[in-house]
Chain A
């Protein structure tokens, strides 16, 4: 039996985007050196951004973006009806992403700030799993193409799909970086799921937790660390709220 009950040679795949920057979709066209081999695994049935061909028979739907309008709810429900495996693709889809920062104000206030008197529909931003059942989540802002390729290959070959359970710190230490806490910064690496090769901290920028909480995190110890070092509470709040990925843990 194959992964998620699927068995076929080429994966019939479709890609859809909702409220987002389309950066995750774009990753599918990156890593150009392996792109041709990657595409050979797939039968692309619907991918508006790169092809004018559209077919409604697909098994796997990569769903990018968050939900913030009623027509998006309708479109997502239709995709759910068709897809055997619905993948929340990227941080916007998995957690709501940066779009969720809009939820701090009312819809009316947001519309009048940007559009003045014009009427524009907008709902509070929701993650995909708040609207439909999600079978698989691939986090990241943007997703790491390498990880996407590994997961797609797992789906084709029917092996188990896994994400690292350990935090970004493990990858950051392996990269021999100086810890940003030593430089007086707050970094969400200790509580964030690895899999990005600690790309931000390797660039000397604190992790903002785009991949969401690691499987076993010690939030208490983390908050203690921040408090003990006398680091800014508001900086911590801003970082935890950035991708809306730690709402369950936010004190």
Chain B
């Protein structure tokens, strides 16, 4: 077996955006392991300066093609809190349903298109269309369902149209909601197919203890707004996001790093599960149990499974939300508002973890200062340390360079990193 080698993965594939992995081994010992984000920055904080509140969600949603609804809603929440606007209940329910659609679409994309090929030993999902047609079909139909939920609630699946400050520009159509309800009921069994398939995959038994950060509220599984909590016992108000993130730069990465109580921490589905599993729907808890997933789980590969468990929860919750929307008058969808000076944070649980937008407005409702801290940014340091830990773990187990390369790629992918988003 080779004792001296360097693994250099230039532009990791099957992730969103550009990043490199470097692993250096000398005499069978790990010398260096590094996660470097090389994506071109776009400077959204600069673009937002001077933008009117009406236009802000249309700009922030362009931070990310996968989680545009989360970005729109984080900035809307920041602006509404800054200008003391209370959106109507119907709008809040529709927004939550829209978040569910986006998370389902994003989790399905990650699980079936990006992660499964690793476990199946293929380069992409394309060969699986022949070898595992049922699984590919299940993945596509779940992703389509997520997109359909987003389309019915926001007007379009990528880059929402009707999510605006004060509520919604247009109510979801009741006939479309009814059709959506039917589609959810028909496709729910696909998740059982998916779970059965994922139970056959060999998930590496690796773990490294870390701190998990997520939103928390005392009534439901986290999604839009709430307190900021960590598994190390920290709890802060939403507006105190800076104390939770402590962003810092690294000269080899255009995406920043963050830390809290320890050197690194993690956000995402596993963090939400670890901190709030008590609020999951019983069906989702059953699914978790079938994988032996219990809080607090420190195996980063189990983030994939936590995503699957969340899909089960989402479909159950979406059914209830649609029932409640169908029972309501969908006329009061937007609170009229007056621009005012203020500042606040809007935090949401995007598919990949907690997303913060902080906005300061002037008396005309224009943004004076903006700050966006993205889930993948919060995971960068953790990914970096996991790479070191997994390379060492694999060396101890006598794995060769090819196996180590694969494990390193897989552990990064398990975070479902969204790199262009993290650089924004």
Contact = CB atoms under 8 A, between A and B. Distances in A.
A binds B: yes
A1 interface: no
Contacts of B40: 18-19, 68-69, 72, 122
A39 B129 CA distance: 11
Contacts of B164: 205
Given A35-B140, A68-B40, A114-B41, A23 B46 contact: no
A116 B14 contact: no
A214 B147 CA distance: 29
Contacts, number: 155
Contacts of B161: 199-200, 202-203, 205
Interface string B1-28: 0000000000101111100000000000
A242 B58 CA distance: 9
Interface in A132-156: 141-142
B55 A238 contact: yes
Interface string B33-46: 00000001111011
B351 to A, nearest CB: 13
Contacts of B141: 32
A190 B103 CA distance: 35
A50 B63 CA distance: 20
B66 interface: yes
Interface stretch (A81-89, A97-105, A159-167): A97-105
A172 to B, nearest CB: 13
Contact of A32 (B143, B251, B420): B143
B180 interface: no
A22 B46 contact: no
Interface string A114-139: 11101110100000000000000000
B402 to A, nearest CB: 14
Contact of A208 (B58, B113, B144): B58
B109 interface: yes
Nearest to A92: B62
Interface residues of B, number: 54
A26 interface: yes
Chain A interface size range: 35 or more
Given A122-B41, A204-B170, A26 B58 contact: no
B43 A110 contact: yes
Interface centre among B17, B58, B143 (most CB of A within 10 A): B58
Given A30-B147, A238-B55, A51 B140 contact: no
Interface string A45-80: 000111111100000000000001100100000000
Interface in A191-211: 199-200, 202-205, 208
B46 A50 contact: no
Contacts of A53: 123-124
A102 B58 contact: no
Contact of B65 (A26, A50, A98): A26
A27 B145 CA distance: 15
A44 interface: yes
B391 interface: no
Contacts of A208: 55, 58
Interface stretch (B151-159, B312-320, B338-346): B151-159
B15 to A, nearest CB: 8
22 contacts: A21-B68, A22-B420, A23-B64, A23-B66, A25-B65, A26-B158, A30-B157, A48-B13, A49-B16, A68-B42, A98-B47, A101-B47, A105-B46, A114-B41, A120-B41, A122-B43, A203-B155, A203-B156, A204-B170, A205-B161, A205-B164, A238-B52
Given A202-B161, A242-B55, 11 more contacts: A29-B143, A69-B40, A72-B40, A120-B254, A122-B41, A199-B155, A203-B155, A203-B156, A205-B164, A205-B170, A208-B55
The 10 closest A-B pairs by CB, nearest first: A23-B65, A203-B155, A51-B124, A203-B161, A32-B144, A101-B47, A204-B169, A52-B123, A203-B162, A52-B13
